[in-house]
A = this chain, B = another copy of it.
């Protein structure tokens, strides 16, 4: 089976096309790496790149992207709405096929060590690669952002990086980690009452007592109440369980689901899991999928 890792580095430049192109060019220059998507946001002043390939190639591409961004982006000049602490702000590795989470954690640590040593950029390992529980959550790692961390990194021992120097240059600091594929999934309701979407979001999301790997918000989108979600581990909390819970909660308000919406890319396995649930396929094996046999 072919080994495939996804990597979604976030760079602190979303306005100057020339700089974005150079950073993306550095990623794409590595043989065997494919850049699937580049989302640049001017308000956030940030670009999110999705690339895939064999582990070694993706790890090398991430290094080159970090190196290039460090040369081109000056965090002392950076302004944007999105929280950030470095020219390359965050680098998550995501196991897709033939690679384990443990393998992605190893990649994160090896890359972190190399970036710290060769580029003198402070590195914090996060999520599955975190070395301490309080560094699992990216928001905690990035607290104070570039400006705050610049001071604290030299004075507060709790903020000493995992790799690299305990002082920041103009490239700031970078969080490197490993996580499960993230699914951005929205559900539209047949009501314009956003209060219902908010109540359902509270019911299904982890932070207020709901499902372990669900983040959710209630929004009003083009006149319709929407439950907007990030499913952060579809293997542990599968999509169908989330949808059926929303269906039940919505029915309690006399409301139905009008449609579902996948934003961006989704692993095929997550959709196959949905089919297996509704068709009650107990003994089904992924080997029975024709395309999987072709890919062998």
Chain A residues in contact with chain B, CB under 8 A?
4, 6, 34, 36, 52, 96-97, 181, 239-240, 243, 257-262, 264-268, 271-272, 274-276, 278-284, 288-295
Asked if A274 and B278 sit within 8 Å, CB to CB, the answer is yes
Tell me the bound Cα distance from A257 to B275 in angstroms. Answer: 15
Of all chain B residues, the one with the shortest Cβ separation from A258 is B280
| A293–B36 touching, CB < 8 Å | yes
Chain B residues positioned under 8 Å from A239 (CB to CB): 275, 279
For A259, A260, A279, A289, the residue with the greatest tally of chain B CB atoms inside 10 Å of its CB is A279
Q: Which residue of B lies closest to A37 (CB)?
A: B293
12 contacts between A and B (CB under 8 A): A4-B294, A52-B293, A52-B294, A243-B279, A258-B280, A259-B282, A261-B281, A265-B289, A265-B293, A267-B291, A271-B271, A295-B295
A278 to chain B, nearest CB (A): 5
A96 touching B275 by the CB < 8 A rule? no
Question: Assembly of this chain: how many copies?
Answer: 2
| A60 smallest CB distance to B (angstroms) | 18
> Which B residues lie within 8 Å of A181 (CB)?
290
A288 interface neighbour in B4, B264, B276, B279, Cβ under 8 Å: B264
Closest CB of chain B to A16's CB: distance in Å?
27
Contact B290 A96, beta carbon cutoff 8 Å: yes
When distances are taken between beta carbons in the complex, the residues of chain B under 8 Å from A240 are: 278-279
Distance of A239 Cα from B279 Cα, bound (Å): 8
Contact B278 A290 (CB under 8 A): no
Q: Which residues of B contact A257 (CB under 8 A)?
A: 280
Output the nearest chain B residue to A284 by Cβ-Cβ distance: B262
Q: Which 10 A-B pairs have the closest CB atoms?
A: A274-B275, A271-B275, A260-B279, A259-B282, A268-B291, A265-B290, A259-B280, A260-B280, A278-B278, A260-B281
A97 to B290, CA, bound (A): 11
Q: Which residues of B contact A34 (CB under 8 A)?
A: 294
Closest approach, in angstroms, between the C-beta of A20 and any C-beta of chain B? Answer: 20
